[in-house]
Structure 1
Amino acid sequence: MNEASELTREAVTGTDSMKALRFHAAKDLRVEDVAKPPAPGPGEVLMRNWYVGICGTDLHEYSYGPIFIPTEPHPFSGAHGTQILGHEFGGVVEAVGEGVTHVKPGDRVSVQPLIMPRKGDYYSDRGLFHLSGDLALAGLSWHSGGMAEWALLNDYNVEPIPAEMSDEEAALVEPAAVAVYACDRGEVTAGSSVLVTGAGPIGALTLLAAKAAGAVQLFVSDINDTRLGFMKEMLPEVVTINPSRDNVGDVVRAATEGGVGCDVAIECVGNEHALKACLDAVRKQGVVVQTGLHPHDNPLDWFAVTFKDVDIRGSWAYPTHYWPRVIRMIASGALPASRVITKRITLDTAVSEGFNALLDPAGTQLKILIDLTK
């Protein structure tokens, strides 16, 4: 960038500050005044953030981090150390840089937060951007994140939303995309029977995505009865199972055709017992999808994998081209993502009323949104 361009960027934005929630260390999140992002350069978009969700990844960083937050400069983004959190967010475009044509100031947008080389990378060259070895993420390994008043992103990170979609729903596209991709990996289709282990936000959205894909039998397991109650309120037809009282596989087999088990089992916890329950409950030649992130090695009954002739598939994030599709699903009502919201808070209360509330073992909250307009 030449000197004139740099002066123009400074003139547009001045030296204003903004409020942001930043990660310093485990159990050390601070709401601070930081520099507002500069005016957008070529291929960049400056947006005013409106709503951001607190993700399980954010909770893990708060509890045990840094995990995904780099301690050394990221190989692509260069980000490291203190980080603005938040990768589930949406807002309104304030300014666009040269060459940006698909959005304009005033457009409401949802953020696709994956950031990576656009070419010259084996996977990116094949359109598999989410598998790039140099993958960065807004809100974890980028200079901007959703838990701030403003964000500066690449043009490919923002997708316009239609009038039919609410501002809150724009912040739910990212976790919904995780759920839709998990169902796609499991080949959920019309008439499928599906077990989801884990009644957290991703598990809840996966149930909704499975129903949108045509699944007609839905099961969910969790050791928290409060969260199972949320699932029943959200989808009255779902069969809820508490594995501390009942054997998941036995319940699923008893309810499925021929007593053989479900077609697809999707693990949304990152828990070894939940994955074993999936393998037990799925029918022969069924599919087990691993969506939750496991913190350590998980011993699995590989004899059962072979004997049952099942497929076990990972499901990492989502292809970046999913955004228009997931937006259509939510805006049309086919995937009523807003049903998972249980609380709305402000940035100033994000730690006490958000992070700590979600870590409460009682599990009285599901998805908490931070309202950045207040």
Structure 2
Amino acid sequence: MKALRFHAAKDLRIENIDQPPAPGPGQVVIRNRYVGICGTDLHEYVSGPIFVPTDAHPFTGATSPQVLGHEFGGEVIAIGEGVSKVAIGDRVSVQPLIMPRNDEHFADRGLFNLSGSLALVGLSWISGGMSEMALLNDYNVEKIPDSMSDEEAALVEPTAVCVYACDRAGITAGDSVLVTGAGPIGMLALLCARAFGATKLFVSDLNETRLELARKIVPGVITINPKQDNVGDVVRAHSQDGVGCDIALECVGNEHALQSCLDAVRKQGVIVQTGLHPGKGSLDFFQLTFKDAEIRGSWCYPTHSWPRTIDLISSGAVPASRVVTKKITLDQAVKDGFDALLDPAGSELKILIDLKA
């Protein structure tokens, strides 16, 4: 079957590889439909291997070359012994976290995303979404309703990241929320914050094209370009009594953006760090203490959030498909997908690969 595999930085290859083996007990095979190109995939392409193991992964045994893609869905075409949650022919969304199910500190507490042995489909597993088929554990698939499209099934994973970030922030009705970064995660975070009840939304980004997209995707959002205006000043100017926003979601992984979040939130406000920082960075800890503010990390998502996220998308509460700007074929993935998303002057936001095209 055809697949896109990571070999090394700047070395992605479309190759013919073996089809997945027959599913064992508790496993399924799906025919992939759509897969999204994630920022994590882009980081692997530019600077990897990062999450792709160079030696055998201690839990899954996976190693490079690795089929990429962890934002995807498809149709179940084979099931192993003991599988009852899905049947052949079911359309599913893939929850890509793979980890011990018991006899491990965090797994025993249901905190699977915090497992020290964590692996991910499309980064450290036998299969990935950027191929025609994938072998998965039954806990990695969740049946989707008829009201959900195949494209939306591929958007559950990034949306789940944002749902969890909003949970970590404690967003509630009437809150004001700043999101730093108008990439796919930032856009989905805005849509999730609105679904959670936030009534005043701000987004900051250096890319004017993405700010224009934000105004179309999230009507009413207040956009800020830090090259032109101070983020905190704009937020305070639109806040009750000029105190700042209630919540800030940092979706870039940039220390300047994090400092903007701290500047913009009110006293006793909450900042949630969602983007992955490449280095240690710095922060004005005097301001953090003086404001009596909080900074919380947000890593992946609880695996039990998948049905909830599916409901949020399929009901229309989170119109996730708004972030999709282009669909391409697997043969076009590198030039028209990865390279297009890395172009600083590019206009693409979320690109989906159509595995049937």
Matched, 1:243 2:230: no
Report matched runs for 1:235-274 at 5 Å: 235-274=218-257
1:225 corresponds in structure 2 to 208
Per the TM alignment, residue 176 of structure 1 is displaced from its structure 2 partner at its CA by 0.1
1:127 corresponds in structure 2 to 110
1:291 corresponds in structure 2 to 274
Separation in structure 1 between the aligned mates of residue 311 and residue 64 of structure 2, nearest angstrom:
36
Between the aligned residues of both structures, percent identity stands at: 71
Matched, 1:106 2:80: no
Gaps of 5+ in 2: none
Per the TM alignment, residue 172 of structure 1 is displaced from its structure 2 partner at its CA by 0.1
Per the TM alignment, residue 349 of structure 1 is displaced from its structure 2 partner at its CA by 0.5
Per the TM alignment, residue 72 of structure 1 is displaced from its structure 2 partner at its CA by 1.2
2:133 corresponds in structure 1 to 150
2:333 corresponds in structure 1 to 350
Report matched runs for 1:325-336 at 5 Å: 325-336=308-319
Separation in structure 2 between the aligned mates of residue 261 and residue 100 of structure 1, nearest angstrom:
51
Per the TM alignment, residue 81 of structure 1 is displaced from its structure 2 partner at its CA by 1.6
Separation in structure 2 between the aligned mates of residue 202 and residue 86 of structure 1, nearest angstrom:
16
Q: Residue by residue, what CA displacement relative to the aligned partner does 1:179-213 show, whole Å, maximum 9, x if unpaired?
A: 11001100011001000000000000000000000
Separation in structure 1 between the aligned mates of residue 281 and residue 65 of structure 2, nearest angstrom:
32
Q: Residue by residue, what CA displacement relative to the aligned partner does 1:205-229 show, whole Å, maximum 9, x if unpaired?
A: 0000000000000000000000000
1:41 corresponds in structure 2 to 24
Q: 2:68 aligns with which of 73, 79, 85?
A: 85
Q: Give the secondary-structure state (helix, strand or coil) at the position aligned to 1:22.
A: strand
Separation in structure 2 between the aligned mates of residue 349 and residue 311 of structure 1, nearest angstrom:
43
Given that 1:227 and 1:363 are in contact with CA atoms closer than 8 Å, whether structure 2 keeps it comes out as: no
Separation in structure 1 between the aligned mates of residue 291 and residue 187 of structure 2, nearest angstrom:
27
Separation in structure 2 between the aligned mates of residue 331 and residue 310 of structure 1, nearest angstrom:
35
1:13 corresponds in structure 2 to none
Separation in structure 1 between the aligned mates of residue 346 and residue 225 of structure 2, nearest angstrom:
14
Given that 1:224 and 1:363 are in contact with CA atoms closer than 8 Å, whether structure 2 keeps it comes out as: no
Per the TM alignment, residue 66 of structure 1 is displaced from its structure 2 partner at its CA by 0.3
Q: Give the secondary-structure state (helix, strand or coil) at the position aligned to 1:296.
A: coil
TM score, norm. by length of structure 2: 1.00
Q: Residue by residue, what CA displacement relative to the aligned partner does 1:258-316 show, whole Å, maximum 9, x if unpaired?
A: 10000000000001110000000000000000000000011100001100000100000
Q: Give the secondary-structure state (helix, strand or coil) at the position aligned to 1:35.
A: coil
1:205 corresponds in structure 2 to 188
Separation in structure 2 between the aligned mates of residue 160 and residue 187 of structure 1, nearest angstrom:
28
Gaps of 5+ in 1: 1-17
Separation in structure 2 between the aligned mates of residue 101 and residue 208 of structure 1, nearest angstrom:
34
Matched, 1:184 2:167: yes
Q: 1:31 aligns with which of 2, 6, 14?
A: 14
Given that 1:43 and 1:100 are in contact with CA atoms closer than 8 Å, whether structure 2 keeps it comes out as: yes
Matched, 1:320 2:310: no
Q: Give the secondary-structure state (helix, strand or coil) at the position aligned to 2:17.
A: strand
Matched, 1:361 2:354: no
Q: Residue by residue, what CA displacement relative to the aligned partner does 1:138-184 show, whole Å, maximum 9, x if unpaired?
A: 00000100000000000000000000000000000000000110011
Given that 1:185 and 1:315 are in contact with CA atoms closer than 8 Å, whether structure 2 keeps it comes out as: yes
Separation in structure 2 between the aligned mates of residue 151 and residue 109 of structure 1, nearest angstrom:
12
Per the TM alignment, residue 363 of structure 1 is displaced from its structure 2 partner at its CA by 3.4
1:279 corresponds in structure 2 to 262
2:320 corresponds in structure 1 to 337
2:79 corresponds in structure 1 to 96
Given that 1:114 and 1:130 are in contact with CA atoms closer than 8 Å, whether structure 2 keeps it comes out as: yes
Q: 2:149 aligns with which of 152, 166, 187?
A: 166
Per the TM alignment, residue 362 of structure 1 is displaced from its structure 2 partner at its CA by 1.1
Separation in structure 2 between the aligned mates of residue 342 and residue 122 of structure 1, nearest angstrom:
41
Q: How many residues align?
A: 357
1:59 corresponds in structure 2 to 42
TM score, norm. by length of structure 1: 0.95
Separation in structure 2 between the aligned mates of residue 128 and residue 235 of structure 1, nearest angstrom:
32
Q: 2:288 aligns with which of 294, 305, 309?
A: 305
Separation in structure 2 between the aligned mates of residue 55 and residue 360 of structure 1, nearest angstrom:
15
Aligned-CA RMSD value: 0.4
